[in-house]
Amino acid sequence: MRLLPVLLLACTAAAPKDDGDGTDTRETDTGEASAPPDHTDDETAETGPTDPPDTDPGPRWATYAPLQPARQEHGTTVFRGELVVVGGYVDAGPLDRVDAWSPESDTWRPLADLPEPLHHPNLASVGDTLVVAGFLVGTFPAFVAKGTVYRYDPDGDRWTLGTPMPAGTARGASVTLVHDDRVWVLGGIGVDAVATASIYDPALDTWTPLPDLPTARDHAAGGVLGTGPTVVGGRRISLESSLGVVEAWDPAQAAWTTLPALPRPRGGLAAAVLDGRLYALGGEGDLTDPDLMFRDVDAWDPAQGTWTSLAAMPRAVHGTAAVTLQGRLWLAGGGTRAGLQPTDALQAFDPQGR
């Protein structure tokens, strides 16, 4: 437990946009609702009239309107077509802020504050319901898990209470996924890293236990692929305990199965599914990096049963989440170095370079 502070706190002070960080500055039509122009510096390189067309641009990154204040250890989800950031941690401690970003206008707006400041929330969006199903409170190093459930009413712009987590299962920093219109809360931090798995049904406001994960873990990530949720990486409190294990739900057996591990074990990472592949991005605890950051981007192809490593992130982050919106992966804020170092960056990643 001695390294708990390092693991739970990782942020970066509001970072200016970097020049020459490997971020492509060209924006192309995605074929979906148009995204706003990115805020990376314009590319000035010229090509001659005889240059062949760029038929394989490859993965690209872009940045958009910064998140204020810069924060980490928050929850991120897509709700009613907007990217919503809930709670988090800054230099002064936990936040009760909730902010929504519009892809049409590239602007942020506040939503109703949470009933209390919190961080590491288990956040999910199901239909017209935004749910925080457990979280951590307190300031470093005295973090405490709470099993309180908060539900956001968008019409009234207010938060109400739901049925709390069952006794003994309170936790934050869990993998939180939506499958079959229910919220799966997997692993996380209670008193220590836990293997507890359970489902919250927003329609019924009830909890259902699941078989424990085979591997206790916190600060993991995941996505829903094929038959159900998949959990990737994580750790057991300390940075030295980074995990590469990948476990997926098998509904036919009503049990967890093991898939090929991440190319490099890591916790504090973000993950999301796009075009049938699960992408794992960033993370904390690379003991070979001066900032203890993972810059890795890896893609799991369930059809091939293999991981593919892609080009490194131009701005590595941990302590945030990845979400899918308008054909890209989005990461808002996060930590840029082990410990408390939050960033305000809103980054978008397109593996196809569209």
Q: How far apart are CA 281 and CA 322, in angstroms?
A: 8
Asked if the peptide bond before residue 302 counts as cis, ω within 30 degrees of 0, the response is no
- Give the pLDDT band (50/70/90) at residue 58: confident
Q: Is the model's pLDDT at 123 over the cut of 90?
A: yes
Q: Is the model's pLDDT at 98 over the cut of 60?
A: yes
More confident residue, 170 or 13: 170
Mean per-residue pLDDT for 230-244?
95
Per cent of the chain over pLDDT 70 is 84
Q: What is the DSSP letter of 133?
A: E
pTM here? 0.86
Q: How far apart are CA 99 and CA 71, in angstroms?
A: 12
The reply to whether 26 falls in a domain is no
Asked if 141 and 5 touch (Cβ cutoff 8 Å), the reply is yes
Could you tell me whether strands 107-110 and 98-102 are parallel, antiparallel, or unpaired per DSSP bridges?
antiparallel
- Give the pLDDT band (50/70/90) at residue 35: low
Q: Is the model's pLDDT at 289 over the cut of 50?
A: yes
Mean per-residue pLDDT for 46-55?
39
Residue 13: CA count within 13 A, CB half-sphere: 0
Q: CATH no. for residue 239?
A: 2.120.10.80
The predicted structure's pLDDT at residue 37: 60
Asked if 117 and 170 touch (Cβ cutoff 8 Å), the reply is no
The reply to whether 55 falls in a domain is no
The reply to whether 176 falls in a domain is yes
The length of the chain is 354
End-to-end alpha-carbon separation of the chain, Å? 44
The reply to whether 97 falls in a domain is yes
Asked if 265 and 249 touch (Cβ cutoff 8 Å), the reply is no
What Å distances lie between residue 247 and 18, 215, 223, 265, 283, CA to CA?
Answer: 36, 8, 11, 14, 18
Q: Dihedral through CA 180, CA 183, CA 184, CA 187, nearest 10?
A: 170
Q: What is the pLDDT of residues 75-87, one digit of tens each?
A: 999 999 999 999 9
3-state secondary structure of 161: strand
The reply to whether 275 falls in a domain is yes
Mean per-residue pLDDT for 140-163?
96
The predicted structure's pLDDT at residue 8: 36
Residue 319: CA count within 13 A, CB half-sphere: 35
Q: How far apart are CA 284 and CA 319, in angstroms?
A: 8
Which string of DSSP letters, residue by residue, matches 217-277? BBS-EEEEETTEEEEE--BSSSGGG----EEEEETTTTEEEEEPPPSS--BS-EEEEETTE
Per cent of the chain over pLDDT 90 is 79
Q: How far apart are CA 295 and CA 199, in angstroms?
A: 32
The predicted structure's pLDDT at residue 252: 95
Could you give the number of structural domains in the chain? 1
The reply to whether 304 falls in a domain is yes
Q: Is the model's pLDDT at 275 over the cut of 50?
A: yes
- Give the pLDDT band (50/70/90) at residue 57: low
3-state secondary structure of 8: helix
Ramachandran quadrant class, 8 (left: phi over 0; alpha: psi -120 to 50; beta: rest): alpha
The reply to whether 27 falls in a domain is no
Q: Which two tokens stand for residue 134?
A: 């457990």
Taking the mean position of all CA atoms in its chain, how far away is CA 286?
18
User: Mean pLDDT in the chain?
Assistant: 87
Task: Print the domain residue range for 292.
Answer: 4-14+64-350
Q: Which two tokens stand for residue 82?
A: 């907007």
Asked if 348 and 38 touch (Cβ cutoff 8 Å), the reply is yes
The reply to whether 54 falls in a domain is no
- Give the pLDDT band (50/70/90) at residue 38: low
Q: Is the model's pLDDT at 333 over the cut of 60?
A: yes
